[in-house]
Amino acid sequence: MSALNPSTGGINLDSHAVWNSCLEQLKDRVPGQTFDTWFRPIKAISINSDGLFLQVPNKFFYDWIDNHYKDLLRDTVKAVTGNGYPIRYTVLLTENTDRASEIPPDSPLIYEPKAVSPSQTAKTGMFERGTKINENYDFDSFVEGANNQFAKAAAMAVANAPGRTAFNPLVVYGGTGLGKTHLIQAIGNEVLQSGAKKRVAYVSSDTFTLDFIAAIQNNKTTEFSRYYRSVDMLLLDDVQFFQKKEQTQEQFFHIFNDLYQHHKQIVFSSDQQPLELKGLHDRLLSRFQSGLIVDIQPPDLETRIAILHKKATQDNLELPYEVIEYLATNIRNNIRELEGAMIRLLAYSSLLKVDIDLNLTRKVLKEILGSSHPSTISIEIIQNIIGSSYRVNLDTLVGKGRTKEVAEARMVAMYFAREHTNLSLKTIGLYFGGRDHSTVVHAGKWVENRLESDSAFSGQVSAIRQKIENSV
Ligand code: ADP
Ligand code: MG
């Protein structure tokens, strides 16, 4: 630590050592996932009297850190160096982007244009009928979050030693659009790219069924079965489509056994817990149990943001940070929908020749979610919006304080709670620190009176109403 001590004056600090010590401290202060996502990718460049220079992958990253971890980083650097070095960021540019125009003049960002050509490794592998693997679905592009950590780890283990782990078969299950296909294809891509000349078959169970029926019609069941028995790895997507397809299951079962006995890896995906799939043969179910069953849950907000950000970067798209956050906040249970919203937003902006900003995002999202998205203005949203409009924090808003400003904010919030939620007066009172229902009534009257007599106030309330209505 002595090299890090500023009292040593003349000694040059080593930026890597400083940053590594910072990382050690940060590791204990933020959740592991957060650490891996936001801190591990940062590199220290140099440290001198102008500050500690850190390189972040892109502007979005900088925005996020600046928004969420500015104080934490400053404190950590101070704790490590004993000195309040300003933190300065640099961003590595890739070939196709020119973000330099976006830097606010007073921002601590420094852009370093460096041509980085994405290393396109040659993809090798045998492509067979039924093997339509999307090359973009690899492990690198699969963002890890608490929701899928275990599934990803199991998938990677299987990809590294196909057929030689205890995870045979591996069954991945989870809701629609949560990344099952991506993950099981990542296993296939990994194996195809390993140069091991393995034959990988990816097929969804409905295609398998259709192929099988065609094979029966054309007297080709032997060829059909020979093909599947000849592969080194079988990825069978959406096994739920096998439900009630007796003959297909029968055929599949023999293929499965053959592959299994030859230590070939088999991976399934399913949109439900596979053991609860109705209409699947017990013997197939018991095969599932002899391997490993892992689930993918809906991702949390941070993971959704990271996924969206990754997609945008992959496509060289510029999306303002608040737009990504807004999309990720509002679409929670399906990554495919989240991506769809992003694409629609881009289409809109290029057709209408307008910039992508929060307003456009709200409009597009409203259209997508449409009436299937019931008004979900909650009292929490109202309290948040009023809190930020009046610069009053939640504790104060629902607390006992009676300063003029706070009392006004509270009454306006109660007024909107009546206007925008179906909650009873009593419940609204409870949300405001357990106040009586008559207080809520009084608040409503007070606001209405003032709306009539005070035009400045009325303008302010309209602006708040707009914000509340735009929030859904
Ligand atoms: P499923 O098969 O479960 O319905 P998909 O694998 O087709 O879902 O995923 C839907 C979309 O969401 C794909 O474009 C996929 O790349 C993306 N996606 C889902 N989860 C992730 C993740 N963790 N990281 C990156 N992209 C993801
Ligand atoms: Mg799928």
Looking up residue 316, the CATH number of its domain turns out to be 1.10.8.60
> 126 lies in a domain?
no
Centre of ligand 2 from the C-alpha of residue 177, in Å: 7
Domain-terminating residue out of 369, 397, 418? 369
> 132 lies in a domain?
no
Centre of ligand 2 from the C-alpha of residue 179, in Å: 7
212 and 241 fall within a common domain = yes
On the question of pLDDT at 1 being above 80, the answer is: no
- What value does the mean pLDDT take over residues 409-436? 89
What's the number of domains the chain is made of? 4
Each residue's pLDDT tens digit, 155-184: 999 999 999 999 999 999 999 999 999 999
Position 419 scores a pLDDT of 86
Mean pLDDT score of the chain, rounded to an integer?
A: 83
Ligand 1 contacts CB of residue 386 (under 6 A): no
266 and 402 fall within a common domain = no
Position 95 scores a pLDDT of 32
446 and 402 fall within a common domain = yes
Ligand 1 contacts CB of residue 319 (under 6 A): no
Centre of ligand 2 from the C-alpha of residue 336, in Å: 10
> 144 lies in a domain?
no
> 127 lies in a domain?
no
Best residue among 178, 184, 269, 308 to mutate for probing ligand 1, ranked by most atoms within 8 Å of CB: 178
> 118 lies in a domain?
no
On the question of pLDDT at 130 being above 90, the answer is: no
Instruction: Tell me which ligand sits closest to the C-alpha of residue 202.
Output: 2
Residue 383: band (very low, low, confident or very high) from pLDDT cuts 50, 70, 90: very high
The number of residues making up the chain comes to 472
Q: Scanning the structure block, which residue is given the tokens 């069953």?
A: 293
Q: What is the CATH number of the domain that holds 88?
A: 3.30.300.180
Q: 6 versus 115: which is more confidently predicted?
A: 6
Position 38 scores a pLDDT of 78
Ligand 1 contacts CB of residue 239 (under 6 A): no
On the question of pLDDT at 102 being above 60, the answer is: no
Residue with the smallest CA separation from ligand 1 atom 27 is 179
356 and 444 fall within a common domain = no
Ligand 1 contacts CB of residue 180 (under 6 A): yes
Centre of ligand 1 from the C-alpha of residue 182, in Å: 5
Ligand 1 contacts CB of residue 59 (under 6 A): no
On the question of pLDDT at 100 being above 80, the answer is: no
3-state secondary structure of 147: coil
Per mean pLDDT, which range of 75-89, 264-278, 294-308 is the poorest?
75-89
- What value does the mean pLDDT take over residues 43-49? 87
Question: Residue 363 belongs to what domain range?
Answer: 301-369
Beta carbons of 127 and 91 less than 8 angstroms apart:
no
Instruction: Tell me which ligand sits closest to the C-alpha of residue 237.
Output: 2
Domain-terminating residue out of 324, 349, 369? 369
175 and 266 fall within a common domain = yes
Sign for the pseudo-dihedral over CA of 273, 279, 280, 282: positive
Sheet holding 200-204, edge to edge: 200-204, 233-237, 265-270, 170-174, 292-296
Each residue's pLDDT tens digit, 273-313: 998 888 899 999 999 988 999 999 999 989 999 999 999 88
- Kind and range of the H or E element at 453? helix 437-453
284 and 396 fall within a common domain = no
Ligand 1 contacts CB of residue 176 (under 6 A): yes
- What value does the mean pLDDT take over residues 44-56? 86
Residue 63: band (very low, low, confident or very high) from pLDDT cuts 50, 70, 90: confident
> 125 lies in a domain?
no
Query: Phi and psi of 171, rounded to 5°?
Result: -120, 125
- What value does the mean pLDDT take over residues 120-129? 31
Position 447 scores a pLDDT of 95
Domain-terminating residue out of 110, 140, 161? 110
- What value does the mean pLDDT take over residues 215-219? 88
Query: Phi and psi of 266, rounded to 5°?
Result: -125, 135
Instruction: Tell me which ligand sits closest to the C-alpha of residue 182.
Output: 1
- What value does the mean pLDDT take over residues 233-258? 94
Residue 107: band (very low, low, confident or very high) from pLDDT cuts 50, 70, 90: very low
451 and 358 fall within a common domain = no
Best residue among 310, 335, 338, 343 to mutate for probing ligand 1, ranked by most atoms within 8 Å of CB: 335
On the question of pLDDT at 69 being above 90, the answer is: no
Percent of the chain with pLDDT over 90: 47
Residue with the smallest CA separation from ligand 1 atom 26 is 142
Question: Does the predicted TM-score (pTM) go above 0.85?
Answer: no
279 and 191 fall within a common domain = yes
Position 60 scores a pLDDT of 64
397 and 263 fall within a common domain = no
386 and 330 fall within a common domain = no
CA distance 141 to 143: 6
Residue 210: band (very low, low, confident or very high) from pLDDT cuts 50, 70, 90: confident
Q: CB 35: neighbour CB atoms within 10 A?
A: 15
> 424 lies in a domain?
yes
Each residue's pLDDT tens digit, 365-378: 888 776 444 456 78
204 and 238 fall within a common domain = yes
On the question of pLDDT at 450 being above 90, the answer is: yes
Residue with the smallest CA separation from ligand 1 atom 23 is 143
Instruction: Give start and end residues of each alpha helix (H) in 175-300.
Output: 180-193, 205-217, 221-229, 246-261, 282-290
Q: What is the CATH number of the domain that holds 407?
A: 1.10.1750.10
Q: What is the CATH number of the domain that holds 188?
A: 3.40.50.300
> 256 lies in a domain?
yes
- CB half-sphere exposure, 242, CA atoms < 13 A: 29
Position 12 scores a pLDDT of 66
Centre of ligand 2 from the C-alpha of residue 197, in Å: 26
154 and 292 fall within a common domain = yes
Please state the atom number of ligand 1 nearest to the C-alpha of residue 147. 23
